[in-house]
Structure 1
Amino acid sequence: MTDVNEVQDTRVVVRPRKVSIAAWVGATAVLVLFVVVAVVLRSSDTGVRFRAADQVSLVILGVLIAAGLLLLARPRVIADAEGIEVRNVLFNRRFPWALVRRVAFPDGASWARLDLPDDEYIAMLAIQAVDGARAVDAIRKVRALHAASKGA
């Protein structure tokens, strides 16, 4: 469910809820698994000699995979009276409301999007369909800010 962390007079902050939980659980499980495997490899007789460097490498690999999974918990949307900032997995982008044609959540889509001029759009991974009612609440608040900026 989408976590609408802040709602002030003219500010809305949205983060995905279910995907964030799944990312943290998955990252923790992967890290624990890699650490356990690294410890067990040294003490079990597999016919191959595993050294301390191999164990450290496995733990580092587990950390890297866990960090990659945690990137899924990174998306965020911050909307205020001036515009909207969209942070997806890797990049942040800020758009003034004058540039945004529509805040859309197409039927069957997994997440909301901003429709921009010249048939371009930006996905808002923070507002996801799997979050149900929280996503509906978030999209309504973002649309209200967009409509208020067009009316001003």
Structure 2
Amino acid sequence: MSDWELEVRPRKSARYAYGVAVLCVLVFLVLGVLLRTTATGVYFRLVDQLAMIGIGMMLAGGVLLLARPRLRVSREGVRVRNAFGERHVDWDLVEGLSFPDGAAWARIELPDDEYIPVMAIQSNDREHAVSAVQSFRRLAEKYAPANNAS
């Protein structure tokens, strides 16, 4: 399915995540290289150096999960991908998109007071987040006119 009418990703947090991931790799790479050359009183082997670099790579991978969120909207429904999972919601279940006061990200309202957090629309993205919410609400009115798309 490639006919997405709206695709949103976070901007600021993704940039920070990429920067922190690069920093983690560089710091642990330098630590791994210097592990054998500095006099610490302990004998480190090549495997210890590689393990140090591997730890940096794993930390960077964990940080990059924050760059993963995405919201996609099409005629069939809404697909929300957050840091650890992805979920598709048909339009007949979507009651709207809200951005509660003080919340870090938006959420899709579902029946029975349930909701799905949408980490792709974050408050720190300011105008980008406002534009994404407005675009989502226009599409919700188009595809789910019976639901309240507030």
Query: Which of the five TM-score ranges fits, normalised by the shorter chain?
Result: over 0.9
* 2:105 pairs with 1:111: yes
> Structure 1: any 5+ residue segments left out of the alignment?
1-7
Query: Which runs of 4 or more aligned residues in structure 1 lie more than 4 Å from their structure 2 counterparts after TM superposition?
Result: none
> Could you say which structure has the higher strand fraction?
1
| Inter-partner Cα distance in structure 1 for 2:139 and 2:114 | 21
Q: Which has the higher contact order (CA 8 A, sep 6+)?
A: 1
Output the TM-score relative to the length of structure 1: 0.91
Match of 1:21? 15
* 2:122 pairs with 1:128: yes
| Structure 1 residue corresponding to 2:87, chosen from 93, 114, 118 | 93
User: How many residues matched?
Assistant: 144
Match of 1:147? 141
1:7-34 CA-to-partner distances (Å, cap 9, x unmatched) read x8x7000000000000000000000000
The sequence identity of aligned pairs, in percent, is: 44
* 2:6 pairs with 1:12: yes
1:47-105 CA-to-partner distances (Å, cap 9, x unmatched) read 11111010000011110000000000000000112211000001110001110111111
Partner AA of 2:49 in structure 1: Q
Output the TM-score relative to the length of structure 2: 0.92
CA RMSD for the aligned pairs? Answer: 1.3
State the secondary structure of the residue aligned to 1:42. Answer: coil
